[in-house]
Chains A and B, each alone.
Chain A
Amino acid sequence: MASIHMTASDERAIAAANREDLAKLVLRVTVGVLILLHTWAVINGELAIRDTLTRWGMPTELAWTAIIFEGIAPIMVILGIYARIGAWMMVFWMVMAFLLAHIDTGHVFQLAESGVGWRVEGPFFFLSISFCVALLGAGRYGLNIGGRWNN
């Protein structure tokens, strides 16, 4: 497939770009698929978000916005449809999670109950890997819809 005009350094540059695109795909699929399980739980009546809303005097129905911010958004991220926008939506969602559930409760200053690792390791991964996808873009592997808002 390589043209006879391609030099060794061209080939190295292409291999490097392929690796970058693969890494972007890996990050997108990881953060997207893992958060969809949380969303499925919210849809099925999981209480954590609803309890938090109640604690702040907000209507529990707001939990259904999960369908947008951790349902539609990660699907955009996984498929590569305006992935950067989807990722910013997930960032917003996780910032709200930290503000409402993990800062005033002191979780951010604690180790996990097992004593191993940071207590909010999971939420923080979702926050920061979403942020990464927003900054890095989707790369080449995806539906590639949305121009510079995707890649």
Chain B
Amino acid sequence: MATAAVAQSNEDLGKLVVRLTVGSLIIFHGLALATGDMGIPNNLVRWGLPADLKWLGFLVEFGGGLMMVLGAYARLGGLLVGVFMIIAIIMAHAGLMGSQNHLFLVANNPAGNHWDHYFLETQMFYLLGGFSVAMLGAGRYGLNIGGKWN
């Protein structure tokens, strides 16, 4: 019985760590967007869409992130972030409507002296991390709001 209980709590702890990581890191992006970062607004305008649609992005980044962190409809938050990242990659990184195609690009390190990572590394972490939360659920450690959507 003891080993099964430990395995279960490890499982719940793992789910907590994914939620906290993906959720809290994307909240920073939501805050940047709300305080004037032009990345998303510029892309919207390039696609002929109103820049104010950025508030939908804010809702996903900040709200979806918060849902994951707290464990309130966490699966829904993860799904929102995953779908949002697919839209972001299509709009900003796929070589469409005047964006550059980063899909197959290996990029330089911060010092600029050697290529060392996939250009869309963090985007992929958010995309696949979000979908993982949607599939794993929140586990035991959280507010536990939302029934099967958590």
Q: A and B: partners?
A: yes
Out of A30, A48, A132, name the residue touching B116 (CB < 8 Å). Answer: A48
How many interface residues does chain A have, given as a range?
35 or more
Residues of B within 8 A of A116 (CB): 28-29, 32, 37, 39
Report if A132-B29 is in contact (Cβ < 8 Å); known contacts: A19-B135, A30-B124, A41-B116: no
**Could you give, for residues 60-96 of chain A, a 1 whenever the CB lies within 8 Å of some chain B CB and a 0 otherwise?**
0000000000000000000000000000000000000
Is B136 positioned at the interface, with any CB of A under 8 Å from its CB?
yes
Is B103 positioned at the interface, with any CB of A under 8 Å from its CB?
no
Out of A27, A121, A133, name the residue touching B128 (CB < 8 Å). Answer: A27
By the criterion CB–CB under 8 Å, are B10 and A125 in contact? no
Chain B stretch 1-37: residues in CB contact (< 8 A) with chain A:
10-11, 13-15, 17-18, 20-21, 25, 28-29, 32, 37
By the criterion CB–CB under 8 Å, are A46 and B110 in contact? no
Residues of B within 8 A of A121 (CB): 25, 28, 122
Residues of A within 8 A of B136 (CB): 19-20, 23-24, 136
By the criterion CB–CB under 8 Å, are B135 and A34 in contact? no
Residues of A within 8 A of B62 (CB): none
A30 and B22 CA atoms in complex are apart in Å by 13
A118 and B32 CA atoms in complex are apart in Å by 10
By the criterion CB–CB under 8 Å, are A38 and B117 in contact? yes
Known: A37-B121, A121-B122, A125-B25. 8 other contacts (CB 8 A): A27-B18, A27-B128, A37-B116, A38-B117, A41-B109, A41-B114, A42-B116, A125-B125
